[in-house]
Amino acid sequence: MSTFQPVRGMRDLLPDEAERLTYVISKARETALTYGYKEVITPVVEPLELLAAKAGEEIRQRMFIFEDMGGRKVALRPEFTASIARLVTTVLRTEPKPLRIFGVGSVYRYDEPQKGRYREFWQADFEVIGSNKPEADAEVILLANSLLSRVGLKGYAIKLGHIGVLRNLLTQEGVDEKTQNAILQRMDKKEYDAAFALVDSSKCQTLLRGLLNLKGENPFETVQNLCTYLKDYPKALEAAQYLSSVLKLVTESGCSIETVDPAFARGLEYYTGVIFELYVPELNMALGGGGRYDKLIEVFGGEPTPATGMAAGIDRIVIATQAQQTKLQKQAFKRVAVFPIKEELKVEALKIAQTLRNAETPVEFEIMGRKMAKALEDADKRKVDYVVIVGEREIKEGKVIVKDLVKRTQTEVEIKDLKKTFAT
C-alpha cells in the first residue's frame, strides 16, 4: 500500500507553522477580550439549510455537503456567521443587547487550492448583535485594525464600502433581488463586464460603470463625490451618508482607511450595509472581511435584529507575518533535558524533571534508555539549552550537573537552586 497524504486542499501544520497559527489565534483572543467579546464554540457540522440560507451562490457551491447516518442533510461550516445567528435566534434569544460574540476554529470551502487558499482554513470571527448604529460598524473595523496591529503587521490597508449603495440603486432601477445577487457576485470577483451585462437598461449600466470611476485617492473625497452622484437615488444616498459617518468615526479614532470603493461587493449574500476588507501590500488577497447583515437573524426565525461582524483569515495573516518577517512576541522558555546517568537513578531524575515542569520549565526526559554520549548528541541536535545530568555522587550531595549546551560549560548546581537556574 502506498503511503497516505492529506486530502487535496487539506494541510498538516508542522510545529513551526502550528506555532504561528496558534500565535495569531492567541492575538485574536486577546483582541476579543479587549473589546468585550465573549467566546463561543459551535459545531463544525451544521444543518445544510442553515449554512446555505444566505451564504450566496459562490459559497453554496463550495460547501462540503453530506448526509449523516440519520439521513440529515448537513455540511461542514464554511464560516461562523450563520452558526452565531443560529445561537442568537435560539439559546441567546433573550440575552440583553448588544451581544458581542467571538469564535475561532477551522472552516471548510471547496476552493481551488493555492497559496493562501485552502479547503480547510481558520477564521477568528467577531459578531456584534443588536445595534443599528454606525458605532457598531466602526467598532468592528477598529477591532480588525487592532488585531492586525497586535499581530505586528505593518502597512496594512482597509477597504470600505456599503452594499446598500449598489442594492438600492439597482432596486430603484427595477432590478430584482435575484439578478442583484448575480450582479454582486460578479462584481465581488471584479468581473465588471459580466456583471453589467446582466442589467437590461443601458442607463443603469452607465450608472454602475460610473460608480467604478468614483474611487479616488482620498476616501473622504470619494464619499463626497458618491453622495453627489446619488442625489436622485434617496435610499442609495442614505447608504452613502451612513458610510460617511462610519468613515469619520473610524478615522477619528486613529485608524486610517485606505480606500472607499463605491462599487465594492462581497461574496456573501447576507450583507445589507457597510462592508470592508483588510489587505497587506505583500499579498494579493484579503486577510479578513466583514460587514453589516441586518436581515439574517430574521431569516433564521428571530426578531428583526441588526448585526455586524467580521472574520479574520488566520492562515492568510500567518502568511503575511512570514512575508513581513514579523517576530512572534512569545515568552522565551529555556529548554531542558534531564538524564539519569544510570538506570537506578531514573526515579530521582524523574522527580527533578517534575519539579522543574511544575515551575513552568519545559523538560524533555530521557525516555529512550540511551547512553549519556548518545543522549547528549541528540539534545544538541534538538537545540536544547541545558542538560541536567543526575549522577550518583552528586545526588548524595543534593546536587546535579548542569551542562549549558549553548555556552559549552558545565557546573554543579544544588537541586534546590535548579528552578532559579532556568527561570527566564
**Positions that interact with ligand HAM (CB under 6 A):** 79-81, 109, 111, 116-118, 121, 123, 125, 127, 267-268, 286-291, 293, 309-311, 313, 315-316
Residue whose CB is less far from ligand HAM, 117 or 357: 117
CB of 345 to ligand HAM, least distance (A): 51
Residue whose CB is less far from ligand HAM, 263 or 268: 268
CB of 285 to ligand HAM, least distance (A): 7
Residue whose CB is less far from ligand HAM, 100 or 109: 109
Residue whose CB is less far from ligand HAM, 136 or 240: 136
CB of 103 to ligand HAM, least distance (A): 10
CB of 156 to ligand HAM, least distance (A): 12
Residue whose CB is less far from ligand HAM, 283 or 350: 283
CB of 221 to ligand HAM, least distance (A): 27
Residue whose CB is less far from ligand HAM, 126 or 386: 126
CB of 300 to ligand HAM, least distance (A): 14
Residue whose CB is less far from ligand HAM, 293 or 339: 293
Spatial separation of the C-alpha atoms in residues 172 and 168, rounded to whole Å: 6
Three-class SS of the chain: CCCCCCCCCCCCCCHHHHHHHHHHHHHHHHHHHHCCCEECCCCCEEEHHHHHCCCCHHHHCCCCEEECCCCCEEEECCCCHHHHHHHHHCCCCCCCCCEEEEEEEEEECCCCCECCECCEEEEEEEEEECCCCHHHHHHHHHHHHHHHHHHCCCCCEEEEEEHHHHHHHHHHCCCCHHHHHHHHHHHHCCCHHHHHCCCCCHHHHHHHHHHHHHCCCCHHHHHHHHHHHCCCCHHHHHHHHHHHHHHHHHHHCCCCCCEECCCCCCCCCCCCCEEEEEECCCCCCCCEEEEECCCHHHHCCCCCCCEEEEEEEHHHHHHHHHHCCCCCCCCCCCCEEEEECCHHHHHHHHHHHHHHHHCCCCEEECCCCCCHHHHHHHHHHCCCCEEEEECHHHHHCCEEEEEECCCCEEEEEEHHHHHHHHCC
Residue whose CB is less far from ligand HAM, 60 or 117: 117
The residue sitting closest to ligand HAM, measured at its beta carbon, is 313
Q: Are strands 65-67 and 73-76 parallel, antiparallel or unpaired?
A: antiparallel
CB of 382 to ligand HAM, least distance (A): 32
Beta carbons within 8 Å of 422's beta carbon, 6+ residues apart: 334, 336, 356, 359, 361, 386
Residue whose CB is less far from ligand HAM, 219 or 290: 290
CB of 150 to ligand HAM, least distance (A): 17
Q: Which residue has the cell 550531595?
A: 397
CB of 369 to ligand HAM, least distance (A): 44
CB of 146 to ligand HAM, least distance (A): 16
Spatial separation of the C-alpha atoms in residues 268 and 287, rounded to whole Å: 16
Residue whose CB is less far from ligand HAM, 121 or 196: 121
